[in-house]
Amino acid sequence: MDNALPEWRDLLGERATVDTTAHNRNLTEFPDRKIHSVLRPVSRAEVQEIIAVAARHRVPLYPVSTGRNWGLGSALPVMDGCAVVDLRLMNRILEINTDLRYAVVEPGVTQRQLADALAGGPCMLNVTGSGADTSVVGNVLERGVGVLGPRTRDLRALEAVLATGEIVRTGHWSTGDVPEWHQFPPGVGPDVTGLFVQSGFGIVTAAVVGLHPRQPVELALVGSREADLVRHVDLLRLLRESQLFRDRIEINAVDDPRLAGLPTGAGNWSTWVALWGEPPVVSVLRDALDKRFADVTYYRDDVSAPAPVRTRFRKLAGDPGDEYVSAMAGRPTNAVTIDEDMSFPGFVCALPAVPFTGRHVRQVVSLARSVDVEVGARAHLTFNSVSEYGLEGFLRVPFDRRVEAEVAAAHRWVLLTQDRLAANGFRPTRTSVEHMYHASGHTGFALTLKQAVDPLDLISPGRYLPAR
C-alpha cells in the first residue's frame, strides 16, 4: 500500500498528505478511521491518475466534496484503510444557463459560491438549511432536501470517472464539444444518473444542477397541539395532493432551536408552508389554509419580522447562510470550523422515509420518544415533505462533545432509533458512515453492477453497499 503514496506525491505534490487529523475530526464524535492518505486533485485528469495508482496498489478511495456531511460523519470514510479524495479544490462553475435554468458545477462548488454567481439574476439555487460553505454536488449525491424540495429532482446529469478510468456523462450530456442544454435529463435508453447517487460506482467530477425561477412568496406558520397532530398532518397532505402547495412543507416540534424567537402559543408543533405567487394566487392559498386550520400566522418578507422568519425568506430566495447552524449552538458560529470547535454541540441524526399520513408521523414520534426515555436524551423532530405522499424525518439529538456520557447516550440513541424504525417499516433515506444501511430489495442487483464497473471495489467500499 505504501508504494502508492510516492506516486501520488509525484502527481499532486503537497496536495498528497498523510496528515489526516482534519478528516478524522467530526462533530458527531464518531471514532477515528485509519486513513491511508488525503489527496486533493484540481482536475478530472488528476482524478483519473489517482484512480490508476489506486488500482495498481489496491488502495481503496473515498471521495468527499467538501467533507461537511455534518451529523452523518463529516469527512470520515465508512471503512479503515481508504485514501480520502478531497474534491474541494475542484470548485469551478463551468456554466450557468438562465434560459433553461441550470448550472454545471464541480463538486467543490459551495452553496454560497453558486448563490453569489446567481445573485441579481432570474434564477436561484434550491438551498438547504446547512451551512453556506457546504457542497452543492455532495448534498445532491447524498439525497439532501432543500427548502424547495428534494435536490435529486434538480439533478439533470453528471460526469463521473469510473474505477477503470473511463469518463461517463449521463443523460444527453455529450463527451464532445457540442453544446448541450440538458432539457431532457433521462437521455435515451436506461437512465443511469441515479446510479451515482448514494453509491460507489464512480467519482463524480461535475454535475448539471437545475435552478429555480425567482418568484414572490409569503410564509404561513401553522400551529398544532400534540393531540391534533394526526389530523394536522393529514390536512397538510390533502393540500399537498391538490398541487396548490409545493415541497417542502416542514413540520417541526416547537422545541426546535431554529424556531427560537417565534410565538408558538400553546401548540406543540409548528409547520412552515410557503405561499408562492402573485397576490391573487396567495389569497387563494390563504383561504385554503384558513378553511382547514385555526392557528395560522402569515408573514411577508419584512425587516420587522422575527429573525427565524427573515432567515426562512432568505433561504426561499436562494440565499444560503449559517443561521441554522448558529441556532444549534445558541450563538453566532462560523460553520466552517464546527468540526474542530469542541464547544459547538455535536449531534446525531436518523432520517427515515415516512408516509405522508398523520398515523405514520405519530408512530415515528412515539418510537423516537420511547428511545428518548430509554437513553435519557431529547430529540428534535422535523418532518419535511418530499412529495405529495412522502416525508423525510429529520430526527436528531444534540450533545456536549466534551462529556463522554452524553456522547455515548447520543450514539446509543441513533443506533436504537434507526434499528427500531427499520423494524417497523421506516427505512432510512440517508445514514451515517458509522451506521451505514445496506439492506434493500435491490442490493444483489446493485452489487452485480458494482462488480462490473469496479471489480476491485476501489471506490467508496461499504458506502450503501456491503464491501467485498
Query: pLDDT digits over 349-369, tens only?
Result: 999 999 999 999 999 999 999
* Position 1 pLDDT exceeds 60: no
* Position 177 pLDDT exceeds 80: no
* Position 181 pLDDT exceeds 90: no
- Which residues, 6+ apart, have CB-to-CB distance to 420 below 8 Å? 367, 371
Task: Give the pLDDT confidence score for residue 194 in this predicted structure.
Answer: 95
The pLDDT-based confidence of 383 (bands split at 50, 70, 90) is very high
* pLDDT, tens digit (0-9, with 9 covering 90-100), for 206-231: 999 999 999 999 999 999 999 999 99
Domains by residue range for the chain, with CATH: 93-159+193-213 (3.30.465.10), 217-316 (3.40.462.10), 346-430 (3.40.462.10)
- For 256, phi and psi rounded to 5 degrees? -65, 125
* pLDDT, tens digit (0-9, with 9 covering 90-100), for 412-453: 999 999 999 999 999 999 999 999 877 788 899 999 999 999
Percent of the residues in the chain that have a pLDDT greater than 70, as a whole number: 99
Q: At what angle do helices 279-292 and 229-241 cross, to 10 degrees?
A: 150
- Which residues, 6+ apart, have CB-to-CB distance to 366 below 8 Å? none
3-state class (DSSP) for residue 152: helix
Q: Which of 260-264, 305-309, 327-331 has the lowest average pLDDT?
A: 260-264
The pLDDT-based confidence of 24 (bands split at 50, 70, 90) is very high
Task: Give the pLDDT confidence score for residue 266 in this predicted structure.
Answer: 64
- For 54, phi and psi rounded to 5 degrees? -60, -40
256-259-265-266 Cα dihedral, nearest 10 degrees: -10
Task: Classify strands 83-86 and 217-224 as parallel, antiparallel or unpaired.
Answer: unpaired
The vertex-234 CA angle with 231 and 237, nearest 5°, equals: 150
Residue labelled with grid coordinates 459547538 = 344
Would you say 145 and 392 are in contact if contact means Cβ atoms under 8 Å apart?
yes
**Spatial distance between the Cα atoms of 132 and 17, rounded to a whole number of angstroms:** 27
Percent of the residues in the chain that have a pLDDT greater than 90, as a whole number: 91
CB-side neighbour CA atoms (13 Å) of 364: 33
Residue 176 grid cell: 464532445
- For 181, phi and psi rounded to 5 degrees? -105, -10
Give me the amino acid identity at 12: L
**Spatial distance between the Cα atoms of 180 and 204, rounded to a whole number of angstroms:** 19
**Spatial distance between the Cα atoms of 88 and 106, rounded to a whole number of angstroms:** 9
The vertex-30 CA angle with 1 and 23, nearest 5°, equals: 50
* pLDDT, tens digit (0-9, with 9 covering 90-100), for 458-468: 999 999 999 98
Task: Give the pLDDT confidence score for residue 265 in this predicted structure.
Answer: 65
3-state class (DSSP) for residue 329: helix
The vertex-393 CA angle with 77 and 197, nearest 5°, equals: 40
The pLDDT-based confidence of 176 (bands split at 50, 70, 90) is confident
* Position 263 pLDDT exceeds 90: no
When pLDDT is averaged across residues 108-114 and rounded to a whole number, the result is: 98
Residue 198, Ramachandran bin (φ over 0: left; ψ between -120 and 50: alpha; else beta): left
How many helices, marked H, and strands, marked E, lie in the chain?
12, 21
